[in-house]
Structure formats: C-alpha cells, structure tokens
Amino acid sequence: MQDIFSNLALGLQTAMTWTNILWVVIGGSLGTIIGMLPGLGPATGVAVLIPITFGMNPATALITMCAVYYGAMFGGSRASIMINVPGDASAIVSCFDGYQMTKQGRAGPALAISAIASFIGGMIGMVFLVFLTQPIAAAALKFGPAEMFSLLLFALVATITLSEGNLLKGLIAIAFGLMLSTIGIDGMTGIIRFTYGVESLNDGIDFLVIIIGVYAVTEVYKNFKDTNAVYKLDSKSIGKVWISREDWRRSWKPMLRNSPLGFIIGVLPGMGGSIATFMSYALEKNLSKRPEEFGKGAIEGLAAPEASNNACSCGAMVPLLTLGIPGSGTTAVMLGALMMLGVKPGPTLFTDHPEIAWGVIASMLIGNIILIIINLPLAIPLVQILRVPTRIMLPIIMGLALIGTFFLNYSSFDFIIVMIAGIIGYMFSKLEIPLPPLVLALILGGAFEQNLRNSMVLSDGNISIFFQKPISVVFLVLAAGTLVYALLRRKKHAA
C-alpha cells in the first residue's frame, strides 16, 4: 500500500511538469475534436500523433497519446447526442437516450451528464488501475476461447432484449449483422467468403463504415422529406448545461455500477468500448424500475454507457502496462510508438520504467480533470448547432460522413458501401427493425465465430467445453436468464 502511494507520487512528479500538462491539454482537445467527427476514433487520433511524438521523451509521448485517447472518449458521444450520428462504435449507445433528450429540449443536461459520467468513469477506472491492476490482469488470463464465446453470446442476447417491439425483429437484425461479418477472407482456412469476386471486399466490411452509413447517412435520408424544418429551439428550451438534482439522483448509481463493469471488459483482450456500452445499457434497462422510459430520453440510459466507456479505456491500458500487449486498436498504435522511442513494454515495465507506467496513470488523473474543464464549457457553443436549419445541416452531415469514411481505409469502394448501408438503415427504420443489434453483431461477429471455432478445435468438436468451464457457464446462465426475463416482462406488458 505504502508502495502504491510513493509510486503514485513519482508518477505525479513525472506528469506534473509544464510540458506534460501542456501536452495533456493539446492532446485532450485534439482528441475531443477527433472523437466528435464521424468515423474518426481514438486509434486514428493516436496514429496521427506518432510523427509528433518522435522528438518527445517516452513518458511525455505516452501521456500525450493517452490524452488523445480519453479526449476522444469524451468527444465521441457529442455528435450522438446532438445529431444522432455516433462518432465511433462506442458512442452508438449514447444515441439511444441522448438524442431523445435533445429532441425534448434537454441537450444541455445531456451534454453535461455525458461529460460528468465520462469523468466519473475515468476516475473510477484510474483508481482500479492503481489498486487492482495485477489481480485483474491475472483474472483476465482465465478467459480462453470458450469463456470469450459465452461472454459474446451473452452480449448479443442482451442486445436483442433492448429492441422495442418484438424479439423477432431483434433476431433478424442480429442475423443480418452476423452474416455481414462473415464477408472476406477466413483466417483459418484462407477461403474467401461471400465477396463475389469483388477484391475490395477481401478484408471484410469495416464496421465503422456501416455505422456511419446506418446512422449518419440514414439520418440524412430520413430528414430529406422536410428540408425546410428548423430544430425549433430557443436557448431556454435547450436547457442549462448542467443537471438537476433529480437527474443526479437517477444517474449516480448507474455511473458507479457501470464503471467497474466497463473497466473489466476493457481488460479482456479483443473486447472494447462497443461491447462495454451495450452491456451497461442492457444492465441498466433490466435493473430499472422504469424500463419503458429507456430509449425515450432516460438520463440514466446515457450516464451508464458514458461512464462504462471511459472506464473501459482505462481497462484497455492494463494489458499494455502489465503484459506489454495491446488490449485494443488504440493501445496497439501506442505500443508501436513506444517501441520506436526505445521503450520495450512488457511484464517488467512497472519495475524497469516506473516513471512511465506511473506517469501515465497520474496523467489520467490530470487528464480527466482537464477534460471535464474543457468539455463542460464547450457544450455551450456546441448546442448552437441545433439552430442550424436542416437544409444546411444535412449536407454538412453528409460531407462529414463521407470524409470520415474515406479516412478509415483510404478506399473509394467504401463510399459505395456507406451509401448502401444508408439505404439499408432507412429500410430498417421504416420496418421498425432495430439497428443496434445489427451493428453489434457485425462488430462482434468475427470474434464470435473465431472463438466458437477455436473452442471446437480445442475440444475436438465436443460442445460440452462450454459447460465445463465455470466462467463460461456463468455467462450462458446469464444469457438464458436475460432472455427468459425479457420474455416474461413482455408477456406481463401484453397482459
């Protein structure tokens, strides 16, 4: 315990130089802006920084990259809340209730709770990182293919229960998403699947392109029937950029509950913010006494995933700091940058370079404080966006969507995919088939399939492997329980 505090003091000493604080401010602001733009996520933001970090000492470089990472987490949900266009995969859930709040004239509280929840999630994540890094890293090693498969199954089932109306439509969306995820080269056999000879499809369909399509482009299509409408909001109805006592009363427990959940999911290899936010949302909806308000502007439906998402990005640092392996796409880029600076992250990072490991942890503390200072006032000019007439806003959204698409893979073929995805999204919304299960299934489909097949190779095709591992059994029971619970509640509603 004594050690932890003296190490943290060392970390603060590293982080609290003027140079480092300046870089946290620059990185945090840059990350916030990058996070707001559709398609541009933290991985891109960190990658853009690599050439700049060349001249830095390793601690400053890592601190700057972390600031971009957290900044993007803060900024990612801004566009979700304001215009129903998620900045990246982990901001999709923020659309559910965030955009509804904006429509009800509560954009101010929505932006405020998003920043506050991000802050709380980040701080709880940091505390976990300080005190529980080693045991959690050890626990994460227990997740083999069978455990991963069951966890993913649970996540997908939980998403179906989110869909309003009937379960069948949720299932249709999941099935469609899983089908899309099989397009491209299969890593286990080298067989090219469902590309119909189109070489650009060999790498599969980038889920971010689909997200931009079914959210941003669909939003534009939907609004085209009424291009003269103005979001009729005066500054009073936007609401103060702060939350009421009632809002706080409803949100604090979800924020506290979901931060640890997000953190743990972040530690697991291959799991990221998208699954953390979906699971948090499902958890809160199922725990809530007012589940019918979810999706109609319930503030806890925004607070929970926001806290979870930021805690998840702290969790993703655990494998990097303890094992020297990337826990997410963003930390993979960080790892590469660190190696170029001559730091070899590995199990000995905490002992060989305590100033780096602890400096990063301390910078999270500073970074979170700075980011909330940047983000709360930023909400005031941001809500002015709502005054822009739709006929001007729609082309801007379309333009940003296409720019974001191109920057993902520098591929013009993605333009075709994004437009088709927009049409599919439009059809789905007309048929009232929910989009979130489609997107989540597409994101997780590859890992879902891979873990199933790896489990089958390990057990020589024996399906009992999923029932022999305790962790796997827990998730399977949870999945079954969630489904039964959703069915029972629906029956009660119908009665």
Partner 1 sequence: MKKLSTLVLLIALVGVVSTVTAAPSWKPTKTIEIIAPANPGGGWDMLARVVQKSLMDEKLVEKNIIVVNKPGGGGSVGWTYLKGKKGQGEFLAATSTLIMLNQLLGTSELTYKDFSPIAMLQAEWIAVAVAADSPYKDIKGLMEALKANPASIPVGVGPSLGNNDHLVFLQLAKAYGIDPSKVKFIVYPGAGGEIVPALLGGHIKATVIGLAEVLEQHKAGKMRVLGTSADKELDFLPGVKPFVEQGTDLVFPHWRGLIAAPGLSPEQIAYWDDVFAKMVQTKTWKEQIANLGWSNFYQNSATHTKYLADQTKVFDELLTSVGLKK
Binding site for partner 1 (CB under 8 A): 43, 47-48, 50-51, 54, 140-145, 185, 187-190, 192, 199-200, 202-203, 269-270, 319, 323-327, 332-333, 335-337, 339-342, 344-348, 409-411, 446-447, 450, 453-454, 457-458, 460
3-class secondary-structure state, position 177: helix
User: Which is nearer to partner 1, 292 or 352 (by Cβ)?
Assistant: 352
Using DSSP, how many helices (H) and how many strands (E) does the chain show? 24, 2
Q: What are the structure tokens assigned to 73, written together?
A: 């987490």
Q: How far apart are CA 474 and CA 337, in angstroms?
A: 38
User: Which is nearer to partner 1, 185 or 376 (by Cβ)?
Assistant: 185
Task: Report the candidate in 276, 252, 272, 239 with the shortest Cα–Cα distance to residue 81.
Answer: 239
User: Which is nearer to partner 1, 332 or 420 (by Cβ)?
Assistant: 332
Distance from CA of residue 203 to its chain's centroid? 22
User: Which is nearer to partner 1, 187 or 389 (by Cβ)?
Assistant: 187
Which phi and psi (to 5°) does residue 185 adopt? -75, 135
Least distance CB 199 / partner 1 (angstroms): 7
Least distance CB 197 / partner 1 (angstroms): 12
Alpha helices in 77-166 (DSSP H): 78-83, 92-103, 107-140, 145-162
3-class secondary-structure state, position 489: helix
* CB distance 91 to 114 below 8 Å: no
User: Which is nearer to partner 1, 336 or 395 (by Cβ)?
Assistant: 336
User: Which is nearer to partner 1, 144 or 354 (by Cβ)?
Assistant: 144
Query: What b/e string do you get for 326-340 counting C-beta neighbours within 10 Å, with b at 16 or more?
Result: bbbebbebbbebbee
Q: How far apart are CA 249 and CA 271, in angstroms?
A: 31
3-class secondary-structure state, position 233: coil
**Cβ-based neighbour number of residue 474 at 10 Å:** 14
Least distance CB 278 / partner 1 (angstroms): 20
**Cβ-based neighbour number of residue 467 at 10 Å:** 12
Least distance CB 87 / partner 1 (angstroms): 19
User: Which is nearer to partner 1, 50 or 171 (by Cβ)?
Assistant: 50
Least distance CB 460 / partner 1 (angstroms): 7
Least distance CB 227 / partner 1 (angstroms): 36
Least distance CB 23 / partner 1 (angstroms): 19
User: Which is nearer to partner 1, 339 or 396 (by Cβ)?
Assistant: 339
* CB distance 110 to 100 below 8 Å: no
Least distance CB 125 / partner 1 (angstroms): 20
* CB distance 80 to 277 below 8 Å: no
